[in-house]
Chains A and B, each alone.
Chain A
Amino acid sequence: MKTRILCVLNSVALASALVLGLVPAGHTAFAQDKSAGAQAPATEDILHMADGRVLRGQIISKTKTEVIFEYFDTKVNIKTRLKLAVENILKIEEDVAAGSSPAAPAASPTATPAAGASPKPADKLKAAEERKTYGAARVQTEDPNVPSIYIVPMKGQMGTDINKQVYEKVRDDILEKKPTVVVIELNCQDTEDVLYPRKGKDEQGLVELDTFRDMVNIFQDDLSQFRQVCWVHDSLGISSMVALSWQELYMKPPARLGGLVVAREETGFEKWQDADVRGKMTAAFMAWVKGFLEGGHYAFELAEAMVRPQFTLSATWKGREVTWSLDDTGEYLVDGSDKKTTEFRAKDAEDLCVSDGTAETIEDLALLLGYREFRMVDSAAEKICADYVEDWRRAFEKCETQLEDYKQFLGWASGEDAVKYLGQAKAALENVLSAMERYEAVEYRIGFKYGLDREWFTIQIEIIKERLRSLKSNKPAGGGGGSGGGSFGGGRKP
């Protein structure tokens, strides 16, 4: 098991990462270097940044909107060129004697508040605005030398909104755009949606492990040439298992990673009465789940603690590595309850090396990924995913209407109008069947909500055809008569 390296990056580290320049300089063509070739200049320029940084170096060029600055880090003896927005600079001191103390910036709004003092709402707002510009610089360019980020949205119900069908199309777009890094933006709380009945159980994520494995393999096999990162905005449900199949994992500050108890509840592997059958099912399903973590190089203990409530979880740091124990013997008790499964918040996940870091914005994330500046790929993913979700959900709504129509038309199909309404009932069923064939999500949802599958629709259509033939030949239908139709409902699951 590869152990993940401890990587606690606080905001100070973020700032230093920026100025150290985590990517090789030279991506961008800056203005003429006024200090080119200069050795240890007698004077230096000092920039007081809005985020509290004080940068020493040489101003290369200045415009109304930006300053090109050559920052010199004396600790590591590295020069880095930075493109800084003027609005983020509080004060500029030019040609100051090298090594002199910088003057304090006038009334810096980002000065660290005294311990215990809460920032005023206005300050919070300002801080939040500054936060937006904190991190790597997003640039508008087509320059292939600038690292490019491709966002893949994964949002909604696992198995319907998020499924293989959608991401096959996204894969093709990624292959065409060839980004530097693919960021899978995971935002899925389908378990919570059901726990707090904001939505019905039909919105709960499907526990279709094989389907999700195929979906993950689209990225990890078909797109293995691209660096990939899972950025969890929030994940509560089976989506967390999918998240843990990526080796590089980042989280948003309020994000959660958990809810995997659903894998146990929905598969019911621990509910078998016979001990050996229970053991077999548990081992098989847990190995299946662990297979996802294997891809992300996470410890198997995480799978046990996140899926099975009876396990507690503690962690012990050995140097910069974390060793997990499914009990309370570790140095740090992560989950002391044997009644609930382990769930991580962003901060804990980062401290315990489950995540590689916490990033609020794409700029933060880019910086953590080692990109000082980046460009966003003009991707089709957002549209592909949104369109799919909209299309299948609209198709499902139509299906529901058509199922009602079918019932009504069948009820009216007697006397002189029998042929007319039977024809309309048949057409309604054919439309539903067609939507089920087009969208797996529709097929699943109709199965879940009404307990009907394609076979049922095929049979009902054939029965109506038979009735129509009988009416047209003016002979009563004989024989069995089939299952009739006209009523359905209940769904597959309680």
Chain B
Amino acid sequence: MTEQTTGSPTRNHDWNSEQFRKNLARRRRGEIVLRGFGLAAIGLAFLMLAILLWTLISGGAQAFRQTHVAIEVPISAELVDPANPADGNYRTVMRDAMQTTFPDADPSELRALAGILSNAAQFVVRDRVVDDPSLIGQTVRINVPTSDPYDQLNKGNVDIDSDEALRRLDDTDIAAFKQLQDEGRITLPINWALLTNADSRFPELAGLKGAIIGSAYALLVCFLISFPLGIGAAIYLEEFAPKNKLSDVIEVNINNLAAVPSVVFGLLALAVFLGWFGMPRSAPFVGGLTLSLMTLPTIIIATRAALKAVPPSIREAALGVGASKQQVVFGHVLPLAMPGILTGTIIGLAQALGETAPLLLIGMNAFVTAAPSSPFDAATALPTQIFIWADSPERGFVARTSAAILVLLGFLVMMNAIAIYLRSRFERRW
């Protein structure tokens, strides 16, 4: 200890002195400020989440109900051929129906009243008759959807006291509707059409069936391609790949692929699948193919993590009894890793379900009024349907967009719930 040359300098601090107490108080304030900033930041994020969800729920809830009006429809055999009920003259049937329902109205009043019905009311009647041809020759009371302005009126979205000129409905329209309400013809049932109809120009008829089926086909294709490929790639990289340049390149490549903007995958699909291979536009098959390229890195990364989590002792035990490396991997390691792989796959598919941009580029924003019957038919997907509706000017589509988003979020919540369940149910502690 030759360095001790400074001797023993004053070491005693009076910790209770004014100076130290002030300093301590300042530091404590700094602590509170940082805590406050942190809480404020989290609060801001939660506030945004709350506003977002509130906007969607308050705006979308209305679209889960649809105003209907009950009318008396005389279905005469002259207008509808019992042999071919789908091809009847339903336009005239509807005119007769208005007359039957409102016997006292003069022609101009009838025209105004007809505006209450959806333009597509005749198709509702047609579908009823096609389902039950015995109705021909009878007069039936049928609930048909009202057109969008009256739907909005019934849901209280029209300010009756505002300037008449600025409204889509004038005072006589509103009075006519009031009268129907008084007669008990107006109902507001649950809007199953939102799930059972395909897209339509008319908000009161537009539904998500085509989009849901389109998304389901796309996800199915995406799963069938990315699941086996992803597991194969992950097994190779985790269990077999030699430590060399090529393995490094593949590894870096997969990590980068996971961060490539989704719109670039759309460009790839457009140029290669549609341009070079001549695959059909707007088809869920091509959509699924594109999404599978984006899901692949997610599945590979999740699978590798799941494989890594299987302890080496399992491998050593199986190798020790003379199994080959592949028998160990496929017979022991892979089954043990499966819950983790499935969890990662479901999360990857949930991401794919919400993906929009690449589907727009391959034309899955087409206006298609029938649900696709195969993965090769033109169709939309849930997110692209949301995009189309968000772009539509009719007021009824605003609520429907929110409702469609709620449906999409519902599917996402469901998928994530399954993933969480799988993880907690099969999670092993080694």
A binds B: no
